[in-house]
Structure 1
């Protein structure tokens, strides 16, 4: 825990350091990052490329008086080390003391809580505008890169910055990578700028009316210090375009191949994700390609990759006969099981739009309008950025695109990557069919139907999460397919509009949506075992309200209510309990409760789900306990409600 870094407690220490020791500091930070990644995981690739740039920024600028805004902010680890948080990276016992993103609750040097991409320039414009309005003289710096320029809002920010004027430095970290490979024509112009040492005529930034500087070696701390000193006190916006090597310093990866092998992933609830197909704790580089860490270590895949790979395999088998079947990913393909091998085989059947979720939804809608069958796959947290396109371009136009919603539901993710809000968002858009499969077979059945000729509407499928996968692997879940329970056939125009009654009981009905279905099974079993204990003469388990043979229902569609099933339940049940692993306010359970209040007020309804709040890295077990989503708590709720 010693060394030079341990003596850095703030930017003043960086500024006081002898210039000749800056490379030594950078080398030490790089070693710490690699060790931290091995022990803890995180966004290591992009941070390794940004070491020198961050040291130079804190050498030249006076944070927090000078405001530095890190885009996405997953490339802020060195910044945190230099602003009083080095021990969190040096001491394994403190690794969880900092988040993977900037957060003003941690330090005054962090300007915003950021976890989505492309917003730094817009934020910098706002900071600079207010500075100029009040006559301040602090500098404003936006640090963007790692593919973030492909985000539409980044272009909006560039456009505004040029017209606004005033001191603003936009540092473009060009590491020749996005989340996976760069996607979009813009990157060809960046390549020409690199090849011409910044002199190419088709300069994207000058076309916006911005001043421009180029630093060919973005990992040369002295060159960066000189460049930042040159523009520090400019009276107009200027872009400093730096060419860095993503993953520089990773074992077995040379500087020239680091960018080609380290496709960074945004943090989607998995803190161990270092790069798209790489976890440096377990992954290894062979033939310039990082193996999937779970496969390399013999571990089973998590739900996202497991169900994502199943979906891609099912679609791939249809490519030869269905030219309109296209998979669309707005970056982050690897985290959703869209492997490099699949992408290579898919050819024109796969499109990476870059970090441009709004464009991806509009693009998918147009594919469907033209007769195609697009499948758009991304995270619940990133679908939030597309609300207008989901409502207007897609649902209002009733185009049959299929959306695969990964990572929906409660999780231990940071507060910018929670999927807890997806049910509320999707289910309240008119004309959007929202499905929640409870197993592998059903998921693939739904995907086949949504992308087939029988479906004529936009559909979102909430990809099963880890609770479903764990229950399937343990044998807890029975297989439920299209025709089960009610005898309906595959040619039904909407085969999931009716809820499935898995077990028919009486008095109490448990309606368990999506990822809470395994919980529902366990609750019904626990209530039934109480009844069995009495029948067997177990005095310890005997009580007047212990014997409950509850009905279990899995509602497979959360955009509409199955009123026929709700009415039927009301005839033989006096208590209905809804379970959902998402925000309760405005969610599915409240719609069920409202229906009963309006139509059958004689039935008591209790809704269980998440609070309306942001949660930052709270373990899922703690969240479930907080929201009453445990077997013990639901069973207690049932018994208390029956007594009440």
Structure 2
């Protein structure tokens, strides 16, 4: 453990106890700690490097937790965590995993929300301020004696691209109307996770160039007070600025200009410097550290990869998101010249999903980054399709949750021909804000939305070609293959079973595909669980003499009753596997189908009731639980499933 000052910070009071002359030293120690931590562990390092001085100044001036600080996106909260009693988790390598990458009330009273998504800090801050102001009007002796201290200043820290979220503007609108003490700190680092996109960034640039005096001023347009700090990495200037707005009696925006990745030197240089041109993700000074996501998002599947040396990074194979994402982009790019209406849309974090900077440059107008605006992106894609274009919208499963209303209304209700690429769907070792375990239950229960679950590279690309071709007539979500499939494909012995397509049925993916015809037991493995289904069948045959049928369902939005009925007579047991929430998921629908069908036909002579076993996840939030542990918890293991089958027989 190192850090003469940082190592002795146990809370904000220790920051206040330092002399003003010691604050730059504290900032230097924090920056060095962030760099060491990022190299060894990974994380959102670039955004935190730019927020070092601002966070030190926040805790120097304000009185957390009485003064409520809401970070948005809370991946900017590493320094905040260091200064609120959690410095050891960044200084001691053996304790790196003690904290999450986002604010979390279970960790500290200084964290007020679990926040892994973006744009909501101002709205949350409005709620805190509203309750504070209402309580102040009805204050009583009992309230003053309550264990929970009254709320003081309410501060929303937004930036790193978050301001482009529509809900952020909704929050600004509410703040201006609500009035009262509310401080919005806009961390303007001229970037998002990838780059800034949208009409609002021109006025922001003019505000920076004019020292905060240019018009139009988007914040003043809401009726908000406004102040500007040019050097957002000058701790003394920030302390003065924050002291100037502390205990203010009306909403105000404090616009601070910071440098993302401050402390990362250009190649061959020893000191970081502010570039003369706007930062860009491929600029020499912009190390991988500036574009990292937390290790706990998903083991081995993080934004722009964890920081490693160039040689180590070159030797590391792509994770599933990048691997299959790059394949999809290559397939689409080959069609751009002859299909002018084909458009790839990313609501930010494109690099996570194999949408490389080189692809974006080549794609030109065929690629649109809407910023961190999932809801807008879905509606935008629907409009493109309505006009005859072919949009492909790519983002992660947990981010699609933010656009549920648009998925149902603008997309499914209107029947527009949009393809959604659902990355990181299913079980993973992610944190509790980025779990993809709920995507099947979400997507598969929206009417009119076809939900495809490919089991390999070839099937994934075929489904993409179908969904973006003339045969598809409505919205389609494709669950991008995950680690179980990529590992199986790289092992070279997958798939174990193959079958020719059923020529009697149109290849529209509504029908399940029997890849091995057996008897007595049928194992249906949806998407990422299909390799497990093959292994279970192989074990049943080799060790127990049971020649089980293996089925690749290929989709989870409808039931293929033709195939399900075809299993009757020669099978007693159907086993369904899915790497998502069972309740409201896919397997239980098959169980319900057989139960209802058997109830209606119970008088048929000689019919035996079909039994079904469902394997999948419990309805719960999990936080950084290793995938192998989750599989064991839910019985999604070869030995567990085989034992359950033998017991059922």
Task: Name the SS for the 1:600 alignment partner.
Answer: helix
Alignment of 1:517-596 (within 5 A): 517-530=530-543, 546-596=544-594
Structure 1 residue corresponding to 2:390, chosen from 367, 373, 376? 373
Alignment of 1:227-266 (within 5 A): 227-252=241-266, 254-257=272-275, 259-261=279-281, 262=286, 264=291
Provide Cα deviations, 1:550-572, integer angstroms capped at 9, x if missing partner: 11111001000000100011221
Corresponding residue for residue 442 of structure 1: 459
Deviation of the 1:573 alpha carbon: 0.8
Corresponding residue for residue 541 of structure 1: none
Deviation of the 1:485 alpha carbon: 3.5
Residues 265 and 332 of structure 1 are in contact (CA less than 8 Å); yes or no, is this contact kept in structure 2?
no
Q: CA separation in 2, counterparts of 1:503 and 1:30?
A: 57
Corresponding residue for residue 333 of structure 2: 316
Q: CA separation in 2, counterparts of 1:529 and 1:175?
A: 60
Q: CA separation in 2, counterparts of 1:138 and 1:78?
A: 22
Q: CA separation in 1, counterparts of 2:292 and 2:132?
A: 34
Residues 187 and 256 of structure 2 are in contact (CA less than 8 Å); yes or no, is this contact kept in structure 1?
yes
Structure 1 residue corresponding to 2:473, chosen from 453, 456, 459? 456
Q: CA separation in 2, counterparts of 1:142 and 1:516?
A: 42
Residues 121 and 168 of structure 2 are in contact (CA less than 8 Å); yes or no, is this contact kept in structure 1?
yes
Deviation of the 1:266 alpha carbon: 5.1
Corresponding residue for residue 287 of structure 1: none
Deviation of the 1:230 alpha carbon: 0.1
Task: Name the SS for the 1:74 alignment partner.
Answer: helix
Corresponding residue for residue 605 of structure 2: none
Residues 485 and 502 of structure 1 are in contact (CA less than 8 Å); yes or no, is this contact kept in structure 2?
no
Deviation of the 1:251 alpha carbon: 4.3
Deviation of the 1:201 alpha carbon: 1.2
Provide Cα deviations, 1:7-43, integer angstroms capped at 9, x if missing partner: 1000000001001000000000000000000110010
Q: CA separation in 1, counterparts of 2:37 and 2:301?
A: 13
Task: Name the SS for the 1:470 alignment partner.
Answer: helix
Aligned: 1:640 with 2:641: no
Provide Cα deviations, 1:238-262, integer angstroms capped at 9, x if missing partner: 1110111101112436332494234
Residues 439 and 479 of structure 1 are in contact (CA less than 8 Å); yes or no, is this contact kept in structure 2?
no
Corresponding residue for residue 615 of structure 1: 622
Corresponding residue for residue 223 of structure 2: 209
Task: Name the SS for the 2:402 alignment partner.
Answer: helix
Structure 1 residue corresponding to 2:500, chosen from 470, 478, 484? 484
Residues 43 and 292 of structure 2 are in contact (CA less than 8 Å); yes or no, is this contact kept in structure 1?
no
Corresponding residue for residue 351 of structure 2: 334
Aligned: 1:629 with 2:631: no
Alignment of 1:12-27 (within 5 A): 12-27=13-28
Corresponding residue for residue 423 of structure 1: 440
Aligned: 1:351 with 2:368: yes
Deviation of the 1:265 alpha carbon: 5.4
Q: Report which stretch shifted further, 592-601 or 103-112.
A: 592-601
Q: CA separation in 2, counterparts of 1:259 and 1:7?
A: 35
Residues 362 and 394 of structure 1 are in contact (CA less than 8 Å); yes or no, is this contact kept in structure 2?
yes
Provide Cα deviations, 1:271-317, integer angstroms capped at 9, x if missing partner: 6778x546322348xxxxxxxx74x2x22111100000000000000
Deviation of the 1:219 alpha carbon: 0.4
Q: Report which stretch shifted further, 449-458 or 546-555.
A: 546-555
Deviation of the 1:179 alpha carbon: 1.6
Corresponding residue for residue 279 of structure 1: 306
Corresponding residue for residue 181 of structure 1: 195
Q: CA separation in 2, counterparts of 1:273 and 1:562?
A: 33
Task: Name the SS for the 1:222 alignment partner.
Answer: helix
Q: CA separation in 2, counterparts of 1:599 and 1:273?
A: 42
Provide Cα deviations, 1:439-465, integer angstroms capped at 9, x if missing partner: 000100000010011111110000000
Task: Name the SS for the 2:574 alignment partner.
Answer: strand
Residues 439 and 480 of structure 1 are in contact (CA less than 8 Å); yes or no, is this contact kept in structure 2?
no
Residues 292 and 306 of structure 2 are in contact (CA less than 8 Å); yes or no, is this contact kept in structure 1?
no
Structure 2 residue corresponding to 1:162, chosen from 173, 176, 200? 176
Corresponding residue for residue 307 of structure 1: 324
Task: Name the SS for the 1:204 alignment partner.
Answer: coil
Task: Name the SS for the 2:219 alignment partner.
Answer: helix
Distance 1:51 1:72, change over 3 A: same
Q: CA separation in 2, counterparts of 1:610 and 1:310?
A: 29
Corresponding residue for residue 413 of structure 1: 430
Q: CA separation in 2, counterparts of 1:463 and 1:479?
A: 21
Provide Cα deviations, 1:471-497, integer angstroms capped at 9, x if missing partner: 11112323999x9341358xx3x5211
Task: Name the SS for the 1:390 alignment partner.
Answer: helix
Give the TM-score of the pair, scaled to structure 2: 0.92
Q: CA separation in 2, counterparts of 1:177 and 1:169?
A: 22
Task: Name the SS for the 2:170 alignment partner.
Answer: helix
Task: Name the SS for the 2:76 alignment partner.
Answer: coil
Q: CA separation in 2, counterparts of 1:278 and 1:556?
A: 30
Alignment of 1:99-110 (within 5 A): 99-110=100-111
What runs of 5+ residues in structure 2 fail to find an aligned partner?
137-149, 600-608
Structure 2 residue corresponding to 1:222, chosen from 232, 236, 249? 236
Q: CA separation in 2, counterparts of 1:122 and 1:213?
A: 20
Deviation of the 1:502 alpha carbon: 1.1
Distance 1:324 1:480, change over 3 A: farther
* RMSD of equivalent CA atoms: 1.7
Q: CA separation in 1, counterparts of 2:293 and 2:204?
A: 22
Provide Cα deviations, 1:329-373, integer angstroms capped at 9, x if missing partner: 000100000000000000000000000000000000010000000
Task: Name the SS for the 1:28 alignment partner.
Answer: helix
Q: CA separation in 1, counterparts of 2:621 and 2:305?
A: 29
Q: CA separation in 1, counterparts of 2:379 and 2:273?
A: 38
Task: Name the SS for the 2:197 alignment partner.
Answer: coil
Q: CA separation in 1, counterparts of 2:298 and 2:583?
A: 26
Task: Name the SS for the 2:595 alignment partner.
Answer: helix
Residues 33 and 44 of structure 1 are in contact (CA less than 8 Å); yes or no, is this contact kept in structure 2?
yes
Deviation of the 1:588 alpha carbon: 0.4
Deviation of the 1:397 alpha carbon: 0.6
Q: CA separation in 2, counterparts of 1:271 and 1:574?
A: 39
Q: CA separation in 2, counterparts of 1:467 and 1:387?
A: 27
Provide Cα deviations, 1:586-634, integer angstroms capped at 9, x if missing partner: 0000111110101136011111100111100000010000000010100
Aligned: 1:597 with 2:614: no
Task: Name the SS for the 1:434 alignment partner.
Answer: strand
Q: CA separation in 1, counterparts of 2:508 and 2:122?
A: 46
Corresponding residue for residue 542 of structure 1: none
- Give aligned pairs, total: 612
Aligned: 1:145 with 2:159: yes
Task: Name the SS for the 1:331 alignment partner.
Answer: coil
Provide Cα deviations, 1:146-202, integer angstroms capped at 9, x if missing partner: 000111110100000000001011000000001211010111111010000101011
